[in-house]
């Protein structure tokens, strides 16, 4: 199996990013659920945890409630703007990482083909 440090880091990055995307989706789904609190992760901390974990399947990120959001009378504090902006940001981050993975594979492929 071909594996480079760059690919490993990118894999962790993609993992944490897609997890964050799930959280944002979940926040958006619960925009009308009474008492629901916005949840998020500490991105850098999770990236570090993902990089230093031992087992693949046992990775369970720590989520936290986001502080400082305006709470509605029904106890829900999901902010449409925050979630929309984060969704766009996370999408672009994901895209960046995917492009980097592809370029890494292109480089590997070039290295293989040049040897022919």
Partner 1 sequence: MNLFGMLELSGMALIAERQRAEVVASNMANAETTRTLEGGPYQRRLVVFRSRRLPQFPALLAGVRQNVGQGVRVDQVVRDATNPVRRYEPGHPDADAQGYVGYPAINPVDEMTDLLGAVRAYELNASAVQASKMMIQQALEILR
**Nearer of residues 5 and 87 to partner 1, judged by Cβ:** 87
Supply φ then ψ for residue 99, to 5 degrees. Answer: -65, -40
**Nearer of residues 16 and 67 to partner 1, judged by Cβ:** 16
CA 82 – CA 13 distance, rounded (Å): 21
What part of residues 74-93 is at the interface with partner 1 (CB under 8 A)?
80, 83-84, 87-88, 91
CA 91 – CA 55 distance, rounded (Å): 26
With beta carbons less than 8 A apart as the criterion, state whether 24 and 43 touch. no
Binding test (CB under 8 A) with partner 1, winner from 2, 3, 60, 67: 60
With beta carbons less than 8 A apart as the criterion, state whether 100 and 54 touch. no
**Nearer of residues 15 and 77 to partner 1, judged by Cβ:** 15
Binding test (CB under 8 A) with partner 1, winner from 4, 8, 33, 65: 33
HSE (CB half, 13 Å, CA atoms) of 39?
16
Instruction: Enumerate binding residues for partner 1 (CB under 8 A).
Output: 14-15, 18-19, 21-26, 28-34, 36, 39, 57-58, 60-61, 80, 83-84, 87-88, 91, 94-95, 98, 101-102, 105
């Amino acid at each position: 199996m071909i594996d480079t440090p760059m690919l490993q880091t990118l894999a962790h990055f993609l993992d944490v990013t897609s997890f964050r995307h799930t959280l944002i989706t979940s926040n958006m789904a619960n925009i009308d659920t009474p008492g629901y609190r916005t949840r998020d992760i500490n991105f850098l901390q999770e990236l570090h945890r993902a990089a230093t974990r031992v087992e693949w399947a046992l990775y369970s990120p720590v989520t936290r409630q986001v502080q400082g959001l305006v709470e509605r009378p029904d106890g829900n504090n999901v902010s449409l703007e925050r979630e929309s902006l984060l969704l766009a940001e996370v999408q672009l981050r994901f895209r960046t990482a995917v492009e980097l993975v592809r370029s890494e594979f292109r480089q590997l492929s070039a290295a293989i083909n040049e040897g022919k």
